[in-house]
Amino acid sequence: MLRRRAPLNPLRTFEVAARCMSFTAAAEELNVTQVAVSRQIRALEQYLEVSLFERSHRSIKLTESGERLFPAVNRALDDIDRAVAAVSMRGRRDVLSVHTHTTFGQRWLIPRLQRFHDRFRNIEIRLTASAHPTVDRNAAQAVIRTGTGTFDGCDAEFLAPVELLPVCAKSLTRSWKVKDLPDNLARQTLLHSLARPNDWAAWLASVGVKHIDATRGLKFENSVLAYEAALQGIGVAIGVRVLVAQYLRLGSLVAPFPHVLPLDLGYYLLIPRGRRMAPGMRIFRNWLLEEIGSELGRS
């Protein structure tokens, strides 16, 4: 006997409603009315002869049957989306919009984009950058930015910690006769990013140095310019480890003092809450984690 299959549209509607825990949000994502969502869910419940949601005046909650059904439907729809994308991407490009901090974009992401392109030639990254990247549900598909891990309206995935350490050109340290932190730094020009004005003060305080003025030196609009000044041998910049790791590995910058200060901040990949991660974006996300893990020595 040929078994009946549950209709796909009600299943997809159920998955979105269960993921968003809102018929209104599901209607917005699916670009239909809330009445249409309710009708699709009711049709699925009648087909299955079970209730999937407990409905109240202002909220919904999955029933036990709904809790059992949701993860299976979610995985199945992910498989369908990946299969469809694999077929439909033949002969065309999948375009991903990514918005990030200027320094992260210039100093970390752009130098690695060729590696991404070599592996995934059917995925095109459209990168924008600013001092304060924000999520726009109608524009950027993903945002990479710093924070504590809680972002309004977004699902956040941790990428890398924000850790501070001084960096400079190796030529600058040749006159340093001993590893004496206060004396060596006191004779050097401190390089500051106006986007991160408190980094030098925080790092100096963490090593107990109080007599060096943490505000003196040269100030630049962003960390990109401060790092460039360090590369030119102008002074000592306070670097974010994930952003300067490649320069330290190549030897174009050195870390003359071993102390690394972790902050209560990290880099996060943000996706608007309730939006399904497209197959191409999932590939980009996995590549980001792989690259950063390799950079920071994570397994």
- H/E element holding 279? helix 279-295
Residue with tokens 């977004």: 154
Site of tokens 């306070």? 238
Specify whether the backbone of 274 is left (phi greater than 0), alpha (psi in -120 to 50) or beta.
Answer: left
- For residue 217, give the amino acid letter: G
pLDDT score at 268:
93
Q: Tell me how far apart the alpha carbons of residues 287 and 104 are, in angstroms, rounded to a whole number.
A: 16
Looking at residue 31, its pLDDT comes to: 80
Residues 6+ apart with CB under 8 A from 283: 120, 123
Q: What distance, in Å, lies between the first and last C-alpha atoms of the chain? A: 50
- How far is residue 106's CA from residue 128's CA, in Å, rounded to a whole number? 10
d(CA 88, CA 67): 32
Type of residue numbered 260: V
Residue 15 CA to residue 30 CA, distance in Å, equals 11
- Running DSSP on this structure, what letter comes out for residue 171? G
Q: Are 165 and 202 in contact (CB under 8 A)?
A: no
pLDDT of residue 87: 61
Residue with tokens 């004396």: 183
Q: Determine the residue type at 179.
A: K
Specify the pLDDT at position 4: 46
Note the pLDDT of residue 299: 39
Q: Kindly list the structural domains of the chain, giving each domain's residue range(s) and its CATH number in brackets, ordered by start.
A: 8-88 (1.10.10.10), 94-160+265-295 (3.40.190.10), 163-263 (3.40.190.10)
Cα Rg of the chain, angstroms: 25
For residues 151 and 268, the answer to whether their CB atoms sit within 8 Å is yes
The pLDDT, as a whole number, for residue 2 is: 40
Identify the pLDDT of residue 62.
Answer: 93
The CA angle 104-109-113, to the nearest 5 degrees, is 165
What confidence score (pLDDT) does residue 107 get? 87
Q: What is the pLDDT tens value at each position of the chain, 299 positions in all? A: 344 444 558 898 998 889 888 888 888 877 888 888 999 999 999 999 999 999 887 789 999 999 999 989 888 887 777 676 656 555 456 788 889 998 999 889 998 999 999 998 888 888 988 877 777 655 557 899 999 988 888 888 999 999 999 999 999 888 776 666 777 788 899 999 998 999 999 999 999 988 899 999 999 999 999 999 999 999 999 999 999 998 999 999 999 988 999 999 999 998 887 777 778 888 899 999 999 888 776 53
Q: Yes or no: say if 260 and 297 are a contact pair by the CB < 8 Å rule.
A: no
